[in-house]
A and B are shown apart, each in its own frame.
Chain A
Amino acid sequence: MLADFFILLKQELVVTAIIFLLLFIKLGKDRSNETLLGIINLLLFLNFASGFCCSQDGMLFNDMFHTNPLIVLEKNILNLAIWLISLQSYSWLKTHKHVIEFYLLLLSTLLGMFFMISSGNLLMFYLGLEMSTIPLAAAANFDLTKRKSSEAAMKLIISSAFSSALLLFGISLLFGTTGTLVLTELPAHLSANPLQIFAFILVLSGFAFKISAVPFHLWTADVYEGAPVAVTAYLSVVSKAAVLFVFVSVLYNAFKPLADVWYNMLFILSLATIIIGNLFAIRQDNFKRFLAFSSIAQVGFILLGISGSSQTGTASVIYFILIYVFSNLAAFGVISLVSAVKGKENISDYKAFYTTNPLLSWVITIALFSLAGVPPTAGFFGKFFLLTAGAAKGNYWWIGIAALNMVVSFYYYLRVVKAIFMDSNEQPIEKISIPNYSKLALIICVAGIIITGLASCVYDYIYSLSSGL
């Protein structure tokens, strides 16, 4: 019994252990940031690596917590992302005064996400969600001297509080109409009566806030712009991915009786998200705002993928998120490096970037191509499978509009490529020497972008895991 406990909770326990370890290190004598970051990166790698051993199905705490190989994989994707982000923020944290606190915040949110993904009960889900949001707001304020950073943190905390309120209201209505909060028991009690649909809409809005789907996206760009690059990367990749993982499984399982209802809602949400995200991304000059809107558009595509049947839908969404982790983090890796070393965050600063930093230029170009969905990068496969999954119900107009929106997104991604390769600039960003940690992270990202797509075993593996749902 105790062995089960340790195996089922292994990822949570490892993260908790790292948190305590960091606390002890903090209590001990002062160490230089370089050694600290070395230790932490090693720990995060071990955390990621340990996730692969012995995974099994199981429930704990009166079905509050459940896990299966797919959930373990999802947590591993998050572990990978947080390790990559940590490697990339080396140059930023090297001179920061509060390295350990930063990681304590990040890891507590990670722990919250783990519990959220594993939740078997809406209460547990809510607890996990809050645990992952509140420390994040503190992390968004981690450029301690910048006002914009504080502003971002305030916006994040207020908007998440609002969305949590919606979510809680929805959950309480659900409990009122069905008498249960256990996810596996919900379907039996759902019958699409108006009150339940209203409750579902509230829950959906709560989710939509977290994944910044239009019209709940308004906080995204400001928060992304103000927060430190590492936190922006974390927000756009890890926290979004975690909520999406839950979203997919909740829609397909707990809200299965309402499938006709949420199919139409997803249709509207997804198209609005793709179109608005794209249109706003065209006009951005700040790189972080640009990626904020581009990530909004990407969420629209994910929603489109969810609309398909459960197995291909789940598989293509998780696959896409894995690719999205690699591509977005490759882009953020370059941006965080440039931002930390030169303090420049605008696309216009990147003009003629290729003349001085050819290697970084290629990395960011490959990342943007992957986000745009150009072969042979993995983004192509991700988008292709998402749209294929979405077309299963035969809504080809939806697919057609989404496919043409890919062309729009192409325009703004190519605009950046054009700035990097084709525009002239009298003072291009000087040559940046890449620290080894960042180099490692960028290599992993680029390798991921290329391999994840071409090696079909990744998709087939995820697909086989999704079948159990």
Chain B
Amino acid sequence: MNLSLLIIIPLITALVILFCNGLKQVRAVALTGSVVQLLMSVFLLSTYWQERTAGNKLPMLFEYNTTWFKSLHINYHIGVDGISIAMILLTASVVVAGILVSWTMEKLNKEFFFLLVLLSMGAYGFFISLDLFTLFFFLEVAVIPKFLLIGIWGSGKKEYSAMKLALMLMAGSALVFVGLLGVYYQTNTFDIMQISQMHIPLETQKLFFPFAFIGFGIFAALFPFHTWVPDGHASAPTAASMFLAGISMKLGGYGCLRVATFLMPDAAHAYSWIIILLATIAIIYGAFATMMQTDLKYINAYSSVSHCGFVILGIGMMTQTSINGAVLQMVSHGLMTALFFAAIGMIYSRTHTRMVAQLGGLLKVMPFISTVFVIAGLCSLGLPGFSGFVAEMTVFMGSWQNPDTWYRLATILSCASIVVTAVYILRAAGKTVMGPITNNEYLGLADATWNEKLAAGILIIGIVLIGVAPFLINQLIGPGTENIMQQVGKVVTLK
């Protein structure tokens, strides 16, 4: 199938939105476009599956490669493996849910949906790129819409958060850029698959790996560069929070894996202790910081720092199971936080507060929303049956396979953070949803509308599907991670 459609459909949707008038037309177009995109992703999944069962062993499928800038050896090269498909499916579901949640956005609705769709286009392009130039191009395409979305439609100290987020992410991409140039001048190509066939000298790898990894790490809330996450998420409008946590933090994780680790495995191996140290700090620090939060959005944002730490941890441990776990955690966390933010948004739009202390007994007045909220929370603390359990479990199993004592200590510490997670999640959920109704004004509030139910439904289906049938997604991403492991394996056998 033609992968370029994944970029073209959002592009067309965005352009059509510009010519629409009124909220009704705009949202109809945006929803149609995103649903078509979701169907396309599912279709992509099924054709991918057919190819694989037919015995196609190529590392990348549906490749398309054409020269873009001939003189600089820049190609427009796209293709997917299981990991990219998982990411594309995640993106597509979050986009549909995000658009459904913003169904009644009145303020500057045309611009709002335009930017949402543009942001998703950046993400799709990023996930299918097999050329470092196009990858970088789409990475940056996804930054600016975030700035505008937070700055214009956000709440609280929105300008500050928007600026902080944009600058930190741009700094991240500046670092990535230096890393890419280093690789480019070593190999004279931007093509990921070609570079992976060559062997970059260890010295060069050691020099440029930190640039690429920290650069992408900033996107993935790598400690100590995570500070944009809480402010950005908390100030953003609901749909943008969902996109930020569900999609754009995954750009970072995917970049760390596909670019930094895949292309420079020797350096990844050499620096893995630093990566793991930072990841462990992020996991524990994030969990404890969440305990102190009183705002629901900040709770979810800080817990994202902790959860994204697992992604970094999985990548740093460099065993096949742990990398599998990292990918699973990306998908799971994307769905789960998007659901969480959606639920928080629904609560906020009715009660006009996000403070845990002011909420209470919501289950009695809005049972559906409260249930969604609790499901997201339980997934976050890793209850079996939901995706969070599967993903975190896989990361821990994989990490334990790494025989180094210090690494095992890091694994144990990270494992222990789950207890803290349980404390803050259960406390927040118990306080807001259970108990007596704290404010009589809440009595008259309505439950979720059809669009909100649909949005939550899509995300919950994803969470539960991964939770009860993890082998499905394992089969999907398995060949992709094996491919990455072969690169890493070269290093291990060299030693």
The answer to whether A52 has its CB under 8 Å from any CB of chain B is: no
Q: Which of A17-25, A41-49, A92-100, A389-397 contacts B (4 or more CB under 8 A)?
A: A389-397
- Residues of A in contact with B, size category: 35 or more
- Residues of B in contact with A, size category: 35 or more
Closest approach, in angstroms, between the C-beta of A33 and any C-beta of chain B?
36
The answer to whether A421 has its CB under 8 Å from any CB of chain B is: yes
A406-430 vs B, CB cutoff 8 Å, 1 = contact: the mask equals 1100110011011001110000000
The answer to whether B16 has its CB under 8 Å from any CB of chain A is: no
Closest Cβ neighbor of A406 among chain B residues: B174
The answer to whether B72 has its CB under 8 Å from any CB of chain A is: yes
Contacts of B162 in A (CB 8 A): 418, 422
Q: 8 Å CB contacts to A: which residues of B220-239?
A: none
Closest Cβ neighbor of B139 among chain A residues: A375
**Cβ–Cβ contact A404 & B181, under 8 A:** no
Closest Cβ neighbor of B185 among chain A residues: A391
Q: How far is the CA of A399 from the CA of B185 in the complex (A)?
A: 13
Closest Cβ neighbor of A405 among chain B residues: B174
Which single member of A376, A384, A388, A422 contacts B158 (CB below 8 Å)?
A422
Q: How far is the CA of A463 from the CA of B185 in the complex (A)?
A: 19
Closest approach, in angstroms, between the C-beta of A69 and any C-beta of chain B?
16
**Cβ–Cβ contact A392 & B185, under 8 A:** yes
Q: How far is the CA of A407 from the CA of B163 in the complex (A)?
A: 11
**Cβ–Cβ contact B71 & A463, under 8 A:** yes
Contacts of B178 in A (CB 8 A): 396, 399-400, 403
**Cβ–Cβ contact A374 & B144, under 8 A:** yes
Contacts of B174 in A (CB 8 A): 400, 403-404, 406-407
Contacts of A464 in B (CB 8 A): 71
**Cβ–Cβ contact B171 & A407, under 8 A:** yes
The answer to whether B147 has its CB under 8 Å from any CB of chain A is: yes
**Cβ–Cβ contact A375 & B147, under 8 A:** no
The answer to whether B137 has its CB under 8 Å from any CB of chain A is: yes
Which single member of A369, A404, A418, A456 contacts B151 (CB below 8 Å)?
A418
Contacts of B74 in A (CB 8 A): 456
Question: Binding site of B, secondary structure by majority: helix, strand, loop or mixed?
Answer: helix
> A394-B185, A400-B178 known; A421 and B148 CB under 8 Å?
yes
Closest Cβ neighbor of A421 among chain B residues: B152
Q: 8 Å CB contacts to B: which residues of A438-469?
A: 456, 459-460, 463-464
Closest approach, in angstroms, between the C-beta of B455 and any C-beta of chain A?
27
Which single member of A315, A394, A400, A422 contacts B71 (CB below 8 Å)?
A315
The answer to whether A139 has its CB under 8 Å from any CB of chain B is: no
Closest approach, in angstroms, between the C-beta of A315 and any C-beta of chain B?
7
Q: How far is the CA of A369 from the CA of B148 in the complex (A)?
A: 12
**Cβ–Cβ contact B143 & A418, under 8 A:** no
Contacts of B158 in A (CB 8 A): 422
B158-201 vs A, CB cutoff 8 Å, 1 = contact: the mask equals 11001100110011001101100110110000000000000000
Contacts of A388 in B (CB 8 A): 72, 181, 184
Closest Cβ neighbor of B163 among chain A residues: A414
The answer to whether B68 has its CB under 8 Å from any CB of chain A is: yes
The answer to whether B141 has its CB under 8 Å from any CB of chain A is: yes
Closest approach, in angstroms, between the C-beta of B491 and any C-beta of chain A?
24
Contacts of A410 in B (CB 8 A): 166-167, 170
**Cβ–Cβ contact B69 & A411, under 8 A:** no
Closest Cβ neighbor of A394 among chain B residues: B185
Contacts of B140 in A (CB 8 A): 374-375, 380
Q: How far is the CA of A463 from the CA of B70 in the complex (A)?
A: 10
The answer to whether A387 has its CB under 8 Å from any CB of chain B is: yes
**Cβ–Cβ contact A460 & B71, under 8 A:** yes
B67, B74, B143, B170 — most chain A CB neighbours (10 Å): B170
Question: Binding site of A, secondary structure by majority: helix, strand, loop or mixed?
Answer: helix
Q: How far is the CA of A407 from the CA of B133 in the complex (A)?
A: 19
Q: How far is the CA of A417 from the CA of B143 in the complex (A)?
A: 14
Q: How far is the CA of A431 from the CA of B104 in the complex (A)?
A: 28
> A380-B140, A422-B159 known; A399 and B181 CB under 8 Å?
yes
**Cβ–Cβ contact B171 & A459, under 8 A:** no
A369, A414, A459, A464 — most chain B CB neighbours (10 Å): A414
Closest Cβ neighbor of B137 among chain A residues: A375
Closest approach, in angstroms, between the C-beta of B156 and any C-beta of chain A?
13
Closest approach, in angstroms, between the C-beta of B22 and any C-beta of chain A?
16
Contacts of A421 in B (CB 8 A): 148, 151-152
**Cβ–Cβ contact A460 & B151, under 8 A:** no
**Cβ–Cβ contact A374 & B143, under 8 A:** yes
Which single member of A374, A392, A415, A460 contacts B69 (CB below 8 Å)?
A460
Contacts of B70 in A (CB 8 A): 456, 460
The answer to whether A245 has its CB under 8 Å from any CB of chain B is: no
Closest Cβ neighbor of A383 among chain B residues: B177
Closest approach, in angstroms, between the C-beta of B14 and any C-beta of chain A?
11
Q: 8 Å CB contacts to A: which residues of B124-154?
A: 133, 136-138, 140-141, 143-144, 147-148, 151-152
**Cβ–Cβ contact B137 & A380, under 8 A:** yes
Closest approach, in angstroms, between the C-beta of A370 and any C-beta of chain B?
12
Q: How far is the CA of A406 from the CA of B140 in the complex (A)?
A: 13
Q: How far is the CA of A87 from the CA of B466 in the complex (A)?
A: 60
Which single member of A315, A396, A459 contacts B182 (CB below 8 Å)?
A396
Closest approach, in angstroms, between the C-beta of A323 and any C-beta of chain B?
14
**Cβ–Cβ contact A418 & B72, under 8 A:** no
Contacts of A394 in B (CB 8 A): 185
B417-448 vs A, CB cutoff 8 Å, 1 = contact: the mask equals 00000000000000000000000000000000
Which single member of A369, A403, A407, A422 contacts B144 (CB below 8 Å)?
A369
Q: How far is the CA of A436 from the CA of B69 in the complex (A)?
A: 36
Closest Cβ neighbor of A467 among chain B residues: B71
The answer to whether A385 has its CB under 8 Å from any CB of chain B is: yes
Contacts of A376 in B (CB 8 A): 137, 141
Closest approach, in angstroms, between the C-beta of A359 and any C-beta of chain B?
12
**Cβ–Cβ contact A418 & B159, under 8 A:** yes
Closest approach, in angstroms, between the C-beta of B405 and any C-beta of chain A?
36
**Cβ–Cβ contact A414 & B152, under 8 A:** no
Closest approach, in angstroms, between the C-beta of A406 and any C-beta of chain B?
6
Q: 8 Å CB contacts to B: which residues of A101-121?
A: none
> A456-B69, A460-B70 known; A414 and B171 CB under 8 Å?
no
Contacts of B207 in A (CB 8 A): 396
Closest Cβ neighbor of B158 among chain A residues: A422
> A376-B137, A404-B174 known; A391 and B181 CB under 8 Å?
yes
> A388-B181, A422-B152 known; A406 and B159 CB under 8 Å?
no
Which single member of A315, A411, A423 contacts B163 (CB below 8 Å)?
A411
Q: 8 Å CB contacts to B: which residues of A347-398?
A: 369, 374-376, 380, 384-385, 387-388, 391-392, 394, 396
Q: 8 Å CB contacts to B: which residues of A328-344?
A: none
Q: How far is the CA of A314 from the CA of B393 in the complex (A)?
A: 55
B55-72 vs A, CB cutoff 8 Å, 1 = contact: the mask equals 000000000000111111
Closest Cβ neighbor of B136 among chain A residues: A384
Closest Cβ neighbor of A423 among chain B residues: B159
Closest approach, in angstroms, between the C-beta of B279 and any C-beta of chain A?
25
Closest Cβ neighbor of A385 among chain B residues: B72
Q: How far is the CA of A374 from the CA of B146 in the complex (A)?
A: 13
Contacts of A396 in B (CB 8 A): 178, 181-182, 207
Contacts of B141 in A (CB 8 A): 375-376
Closest Cβ neighbor of A362 among chain B residues: B111
| Complex A-B: 21 CB contacts under 8 Å | A375-B137, A384-B177, A396-B182, A400-B175, A400-B178, A403-B175, A407-B167, A407-B170, A407-B174, A410-B166, A410-B170, A414-B166, A415-B163, A417-B147, A417-B148, A418-B163, A422-B151, A422-B152, A456-B69, A460-B69, A460-B70
> A407-B167, A414-B166, A417-B147 provided; 17 other pairs, C-beta below 8 A?
A312-B71, A380-B137, A385-B72, A391-B184, A399-B178, A399-B181, A403-B178, A404-B174, A407-B170, A410-B166, A410-B167, A415-B163, A422-B158, A456-B67, A456-B69, A460-B69, A460-B70
Q: Which residues of A contact B (CB under 8 A)?
A: 312, 315, 369, 374-376, 380, 384-385, 387-388, 391-392, 394, 396, 399-400, 403-404, 406-407, 410-411, 414-415, 417-418, 421-423, 456, 459-460, 463-464
Which 3 A/B pairs are nearest by Cβ-Cβ distance?
Answer: A403-B174, A463-B71, A422-B151
